[in-house]
Amino acid sequence: MGALRTRMEGDMIVRGMAARTQEAYLGAVARLAQFYRRSPAEITAREVQAYLLHLIQERKLSWSTCNIAANGFRFLYHVTLGQERTQFGIPAAKQSQRLPEILSQQEVQRLLGATGNRKHRALLMTTYAAGLRVSEVVALQLTDLDAARGSLRIQQGKGAKDRYSLLSPRLLDELRAYWREYRPVRWLFPARGAPKPLDVSSAQKLYYAAKQRAGITKQGGIHALRHAFATHLLEAGTDLHTIQRLLGHGHISSTMRYLHLARPTLMAQGSPLDLLELTEGAARA
């Protein structure tokens, strides 16, 4: 699908779609073409729907994987090929109600103290101190740090939007000590021996290594530091709209989930058991 792939890729670039989204859509379309052994331009909407059913019923792929494939097919046929809109349907997913396990301030402190070297410590500290996604922290450049204003610029975060977050004095001191030791030139956290930023998977691995050394058993990867940032700010009295801007959430509803995670919100009223007047005699009776 060489020429068609180039067209589809160009259509996604023009619309400012993230590189990972482009890769996912192109991969889904390539697998569709391989399944039918024909160009996607020759595959009918009914065949696409049958392929999605195959992914769900026979391949047993997750709802999210099938949904990404369906979105990729919609883009190909509606945008690149200009065909009339066909809604490739997949069953609605059951919404998970699981909440992330939040690291306490003491656990974050143990984690940072358990890092293997100053570079790893600086990366994890920056992730927590500014509430960054892992893709954002590895993409930071030295020019994104503004010591005078105490701000840190995140370029083209999720949704292709720029924003500013916190550059605390303590983080700035840590980054200066890190710079004196490692002397990064462009990227704040460059890959070893290469003029490019550290890979996301490498950042995840160093987080898991630090978590293991710190004896922390709570689930979740490096994104847990972003959750902890938001929750700890909320517990300290920071208002939701400020946290929304720092996290780069497009909708306040995304930030409101932290109301369910902040300890003062959950625990302020105490248990109704504490309102009862029980006596030892009544307990023995």
Q: By residue range, what is the domain housing residue 204?
A: 105-267
Looking at residue 179, its amino acid is W
Residue 154 has φ and ψ, to the nearest 5°, of: -105, 115
**Ordered per-residue pLDDT tens for the chain, 285 residues:** 688 999 999 999 988 888 888 999 999 999 999 999 999 999 998 899 999 989 988 888 888 888 899 999 999 999 999 887 677 777 665 555 567 788 999 999 999 999 879 999 999 999 999 999 999 999 999 999 999 999 999 987 665 678 899 999 999 999 999 999 999 999 999 998 888 999 999 999 999 999 999 999 999 999 999 999 999 998 888 888 999 999 988 888 888 887 777 765 545 555 566 656 665 554 454
Note if 251 is an active site residue.
Answer: no
pLDDT at 262: 72
Is the domain of 117 the same as that of 254?
A: yes
Note if 218 is an active site residue: no
Q: pTM (2 decimals)?
A: 0.65
- Catalytic site includes residue 182: no
223: domain CATH number? 1.10.443.10
CB neighbourhood size of 133 (10 A) = 19
Note whether 220 and 159 are same-domain residues.
yes
| Alpha-carbon gap, residue 4 to 164, rounded angstroms | 38
Given the residues 158, 205, 213, 257, the one annotated as active site: 158
Answer yes or no: do 27 and 121 share one domain: no
In degrees and rounded to multiples of 5, residue 17 shows phi and psi of -75, 145
Instruction: Verify whether residue 223 is a known catalytic residue.
Output: yes
C-alpha angle with apex 64: 201 to 77, nearest 5 degrees?
Answer: 105
Which pairing describes strands 145-146 and 161-166: parallel, antiparallel, or unpaired? unpaired
Q: Confirm whether 258 is a catalytic residue.
A: yes
Number of domains in the chain: 2
